Amino acid sequence: MSGMFLSHTPRILIIGDQGQVAWELKRTLAPLGEIIAAGRSSSPVSIDLTRPDLLQEQVEKIRPDWIINAAAYTAVDKAEQESDLAMAVNGTAPGLLAQMAKRLGAFFVHYSTDYVFDGTASSPYTEEASPNPQSEYGRTKLAGEKAIQVEGGEYLILRTGWVYASRGHNFLRTIRRLSREREELRIVADQHGAPTWARHIAEATAHIIARASINQELRRSCPGIYHMTAGGACSWYDFACRIIDYQRRHEPVLTKTISPITTNDYPLPAPRPRYSVLDNTKLRHTFGIALPNWDVALQQVQEELLLEKI
């Protein structure tokens, strides 16, 4: 294995700042270099992905060795009406960041989504599967992937899905709250994916950066798209049941019944893929990474929440 000693402390620019994955990245990547976290309202460093006219100047001032784009327009339903804004953040900005990374000699890491697929498959999607997004959100995220690929250079596109964490707005926290407020919950049972803990995404990203930083051959050969989700799969109904089962054993819960419903019973503006399980084989073969099964990770998060009494 070829390698090198770093002659300086790498500068790692994390774009997204307060998002679920970005928040975990700030902690996880700290041993690997100087962390510069930036968002629209961050201080002292601000980066606004809706302002392409300022983006180049903002990034060039920092001159990072690694650019990690954990920012995105993630309001899936709202994107149906705000497609231009979603495209600016999810589609246009990633291409500009990839262009700047190439010019600065930086490595670019970008997160994408399982929503680039239409959900008609019956087995996990590989990276070679043809995307066919059904929502504006999915279409804008696919546009971002394509823009990065056009620029080329050293980049990773990491597709993930069903992301949750102990903080922020996500399914885990919503179900925990509702379990204290409602006797019955009605949860969609005909959509399947792999709930993925934001911390495991951050830790896997740190592993990749650490390996690519000392192995130049890997750094040159690894650019491309990789799937990065928890192992296994479940429905939203299964996910909710597991969350509340754990709560019942450790704290008062009002919910007595969890009823499975269909997607048609809970219509939303943006269509969701019925099946968006991703195949993570390429990630394991290239980097030696395999995220734990979704239920194992969920228990870890809930144990942490119990200790913190959140």
Q: How far apart are CA 218 and CA 48, in angstroms?
A: 32
Q: Check if 137 is active-site.
A: yes
Distance CA 298, CA 234 (A): 12
Query: Which amino acid, 62?
Result: I
In 200-284, beta strands by DSSP E: 224-227, 234-235, 257-261
Q: Which DSSP category does 79 fall into?
A: G
Structural tokens at position 141: 């995220």
Q: Which residue in the block uniquely carries the two structure tokens 């499975």? A: 260
254: left (phi over 0), alpha (psi -120 to 50) or beta: alpha
Distance, in Å, from the CA atom of 141 to the CA atom of 137, rounded to the nearest integer, reads 6
3-class SS of residue 136: helix
Coil, strand or helix: which one is 170?
Answer: coil
Catalytic-role residue among 73, 111, 137, 275: 137
- Kindly give the pairing relationship between strand 34-38 and strand 11-15: parallel
Containing H/E element for 155? Answer: strand 155-160
Rounded to whole angstroms, how far apart are CA atoms 202 and 291? 11
Token duo for residue 131: 């995307």
| Catalytic machinery residues | 137
